Amino acid sequence: MSEKILIVEDEKKISRFLELELRHEEYEVLKAYDGRTGLEMALTELPDLIILDLMLPGMSGIEVCRRLRQNKQTVPIIMLTAKDDVSDKVMGLDMGADDYMTKPFAIEELLARIRVAIKRKLSEPSEKSEVLKYKELQVNHIKHQVQYKEDIIELTKKEYELLRYLLENKNIALDREKILEKVWGYDYYGDTNVIDVYIRYLRSKIDQKYGVDMIKTVRGVGYIIYDE
Ligand code: CA
């Protein structure tokens, strides 16, 4: 299945050029020439990636980007900006764009960035969703809130991220190195004992408090949460 790319660009020459190049790479291509149509197509056609010009008639690219993110659309967005629009670039990234290209751009570079953005999107766990559950436990990523039945559970940032990572990868034994890398990041130099400490915190705030046996130890490996 080929990925669907939406081009939102009012300059017909650029739009046509992009279309030909993308089709040549065997992407499916959709086009919009103004912001409003672009937004509408993004919400109805659900493309795998959007190339979004910032200077558009009707609604600016920044506004399109903002509204898409407001609508919980996680589609990768690569902005096209004029050469010296530094503030637009910053604003676009703040509004949730993933990347940008300055016009005029080298098509090979844009194609490379498209491949990276799509690959990154595909490599996200498919279970990744706004609300993760285990029995009566709910982790709501939009509200950044964890609750068990009606109780709101207060977690620190790392406890939250660790819990979320385990829930996103249910039924997979996660080894300590992997957890460290994903939750604490590559630049963390501490040892993996920190994970055991945080698992203990989570167990005391959730498992023990509510009498569930959610986080299991996988001997010699790490931890796992099974489907209930
Ligand atoms: Ca334009």
83-118 confidence digits (pLDDT tens): 676 777 778 888 888 888 988 899 999 999 999 888
Output DSSP code: residue 124. Answer: S
Quote the ligand 1 centre to 96 CA distance (angstroms): 19
Mean pLDDT: which of 14-18, 86-90, 143-147 is highest? 14-18
Quote the ligand 1 centre to 72 CA distance (angstroms): 25
186, pLDDT greater than 70: no
Quote the ligand 1 centre to 94 CA distance (angstroms): 20
Quote the ligand 1 centre to 33 CA distance (angstroms): 9
- What sign results for the dihedral spanned by CA atoms 109, 102, 72, 227? positive
57, pLDDT greater than 70: yes
Query: Considering the chain, what is the average pLDDT of its residues?
Result: 89
Output DSSP code: residue 188. Answer: -
139, pLDDT greater than 90: yes
**Tokens read off for 110:** 């844009």
Per-residue model confidence (pLDDT) at position 143: 80
Reported confidence tier of residue 126, pLDDT bands at 50, 70, 90: very low
Quote the ligand 1 centre to 163 CA distance (angstroms): 43
Output DSSP code: residue 118. Answer: H
Quote the ligand 1 centre to 10 CA distance (angstroms): 5
Quote the ligand 1 centre to 123 CA distance (angstroms): 32
Per-residue model confidence (pLDDT) at position 40: 95
Quote the ligand 1 centre to 14 CA distance (angstroms): 9
Q: Which residues pair with 77 in a beta bridge?
A: 50
Quote the ligand 1 centre to 6 CA distance (angstroms): 15
Quote the ligand 1 centre to 60 CA distance (angstroms): 9
Helices 12-24 + 107-123 axis angle, to 10: 60
Q: Helices (H) and strands (E) in the chain — how many of each?
A: 9, 12
Q: Please state, in angstroms and as integers, the Cα–Cα distance from residue 124 to each residue in 57, 118, 127, 167, 168, following that order.
A: 34, 10, 9, 13, 10
Quote the ligand 1 centre to 61 CA distance (angstroms): 9
Per-residue model confidence (pLDDT) at position 217: 96
Quote the ligand 1 centre to 190 CA distance (angstroms): 48
Reported confidence tier of residue 127, pLDDT bands at 50, 70, 90: very low
0.75 surpassed by pTM:
no
Instruction: Kindly report whether the peptide bond that precedes residue 104 is cis, defined as omega within 30 degrees of 0.
Output: yes
Quote the ligand 1 centre to 171 CA distance (angstroms): 47
